[in-house]
Structure 1
Amino acid sequence: MTTHTDTRPADGFHLPAGSAASGPYALDVDPERAGWGYSSLRVLPLAAGSEHEFAAGDSEWIVLPLSGGCTVTVEDADGGTHTFELHGREDVFSGVTDFAYAPRDARVRIAGAAGGRFALTGARCERRLPARYGPASGVPVELRGSGACSRQVNNFAAADVFEADRLIAVEVLTPGGNWSSYPPHKHDECRPGEESELEEVYYFEIAPAAGNPDAPGLGYQRVTPSGHGKGTDVLAEVRSGDVVLIPDGWHGPSIAAPGHDMYYLNVMAGPGEERSWLICDHPDHAWIRGSWADQAVDPRLPLYTAPSAAPSAPRPAQTQEEDDR
Structure 2
Amino acid sequence: MASHLLRKPAQAQEGDVTIIHNLLPRDTRLEYVGFKMIDLKPGGRYEETLQDQECCIVALTGKISVTEGEQTFKEIGTRESVFEKKPTDSVFVSGGKLFGIEAVTSATVALCYAPFLEPLPTRWIKAGDVGVEQRGKYQNKRMVHNILPDSDPTASSLLVVEVYTEGGNFSSYPPHKHDQDRLPDESFLEETYYHEMDPGSGFVFQRVYTDDRRLDETMAVEHRDVVLVPAGYHPVGVPDGYTSYYLNVMAGPKRIWKFHNDPDHEWILERQ
Please state which band the TM-score falls in when normalised by the shorter chain. over 0.9
Instruction: Determine the structure 2 residue equivalent to 1:12.
Output: 4
The reply to whether residue 232 of structure 1 matches residue 223 of structure 2 is no
* Separation in 2, partners of 1:231, 1:162: 35
Aligned match of 1:88: 78
Secondary structure of 1:44's counterpart equals: strand
SS in 2 for 1:287: helix
CA, structure 1 residues 22+233, in 2 after alignment: closer, same or farther (shift >3 Å)? farther
Q: Is residue 290 from structure 1 mapped to residue 267 from structure 2 by the alignment?
A: no
**Contact 2:204/2:220, CA 8 A, preserved across alignment:** yes
Aligned to 1:113: 104
Alignment correspondent of 2:144: 153
8 Å CA contact 2:171–2:237 kept in 1: the answer is yes
Match of 1:193 in 2: 184
One-letter code aligned to 1:190:
D
Once residues 52 and 13 of structure 2 are traced to their aligned partners in structure 1, the CA distance between those partners, rounded to angstroms, is 19
- After TM superposition, list the pairs within 5 Å mapping 1:174-189 onto structure 2: 174-189=165-180
Give 2:67's aligned amino acid: T
Provide the residue aligned with 1:258 in structure 2. 240
Give distance in 2, aligned partners of 1:49 and 1:198: 36
Q: C-alpha root-mean-square deviation of aligned residues, in Å?
A: 1.7
Give how far 1:161 is off: 3.2
Distance in 2 between the 1:50 and 1:278 partners?
39
Contact 2:46 2:102 in 1 (8 A): yes
Q: Tell me the residue number matched to 2:92.
A: 101
TM-score normalized by the length of structure 2: 0.93
Asked if the contact 1:155/1:161 (under 8 Å) is kept, the reply is: no
Instruction: State the 1:271 CA deviation.
Output: 1.5
Structure 1 length as normaliser, TM-score? Answer: 0.79
Q: Deviations over 1:195-233 (max 9, x none)?
A: 00011001100010xxxxxx6111110111233xx8322
Q: More deviation in 54-63 or 21-30? A: 21-30
Match of 1:34 among 28, 32, 35: 28
2:59 pairs with 1:65:
yes
Q: CA deviation at 1:18?
A: 2.4
Query: Whose RCO is larger (CA < 8 A, sep 6+)?
Result: 1
Structure 2 CA distance for aligned equivalents of residues 99 and 176 of structure 1: 28
- The Cα of 1:241 is off from its aligned counterpart by 0.8
Between the aligned partners of 2:135 and 2:65, the Cα distance in structure 1 is: 33
- Aligned residue among 250, 256, 261 for 1:268: 250
1:200·1:269 contact (CA, 8 Å) conserved in 2?
yes
**Which secondary structure state, in structure 2, belongs to the residue aligned with residue 93 of structure 1?**
helix
2:43 is matched with which residue? 49
Shift of the alpha carbon at 1:162?
5.0
SS at match of 1:189: strand
- Residue 242 of structure 1: how far off its partner (Å): 0.4
Work out which of the two has the higher radius of gyration on C-alpha atoms and give 1 or 2.
1
1:90 partner amino acid: E
Whichever structure has more strand as a proportion of its residues is 2
- What do residues 155-176 of structure 1 show as CA deviations (whole Å, max 9, x unaligned)? 1111113521000110000011
**Compared CA separation, residues 258 and 162, structure 1 to 2 (3 A):** farther
Unaligned 5+ segments in structure 2 are: none
Equivalent of 1:219 in 183, 195, 204: 204
Distance 1:199 1:168 in 2: 10
CA distance in structure 2 between the partners assigned to 1:151 and 1:202 by the alignment: 15
Offset, 1:31: 0.8
- Tell me by how many angstroms 1:45 deviates: 0.4
Deviation per CA, 1:65-118: give whole Å up to 9, x if none. Answer: 11101000013xxxxx21112133111111210111111111110001212100
